[in-house]
Amino acid sequence: MYQYRVTKYDPAFRNDAGAYTKDDWTMFRQIGDAFGGVTLSESEYLRVESAYVEAATSFLTEDHSPELRVTSLEIRVDLPTVPPEGSLVAWTDFGRICRSVLREEFWCELQADGRYVHFGWDFYMYIGVESPCEKAIEKAQTLGLFVENCASPYCADAEDEA
């Protein structure tokens, strides 16, 4: 199993305990707020959100992952498009579901056959795959994301579903 943390956060700005020390935005609701003297625009948020979706898709595609299943569903906003607990996510719906989770409309883990995509607080994404996915790592980096070897804090749940 290869496990990665994929984020917009440069590891150079982590302290010895691993905490990110730079002032930066962490959620959709912060569009319009300033961080480090820069106002988060909607277009910048959408660019980063799209990078996360594209990176996750690249990992799963390179790994030849099966469709992932919705687990640990937590509904936060009344939406007609929330996938049911236990449902398989069609590839055509994968991006929409990732975007909804990143926007905190609902939260879930996506996993199947030991593979996973998990989203944590503060715009952290964790990916577990069966192959090293070197092309996907390069793709994430070209999208401005950082890829670190790191197990998901939700891994116990992922192992239960394997």
The domain locations on the chain are 2-161
Contact call for residues 129 and 66 (beta carbons, < 8 A): no
Quote the crossing angle between the two packed helices 91-102 and 42-62, to the nearest 10°: 140
Across the range 142-160, mean pLDDT stands at 83
**Under DSSP, is residue 123 helix (H, G, I), strand (E, B) or coil?**
helix
Q: What share of the chain is helix, strand, coil (3-state, %, to 5)?
A: 35, 25, 40
Instruction: Place 118 in a pLDDT band, splitting at 50, 70 and 90.
Output: very high
Across the range 67-83, mean pLDDT stands at 87
> What one-character DSSP code corresponds to residue 122?
G
- Identify the pLDDT of residue 79: 74
In whole angstroms, give the CA distance from residue 110 to residue 86.
10
- Identify the pLDDT of residue 161: 43
Cα 73 to Cα 98, 104, 106, 123: the distances in Å are: 13, 12, 7, 18
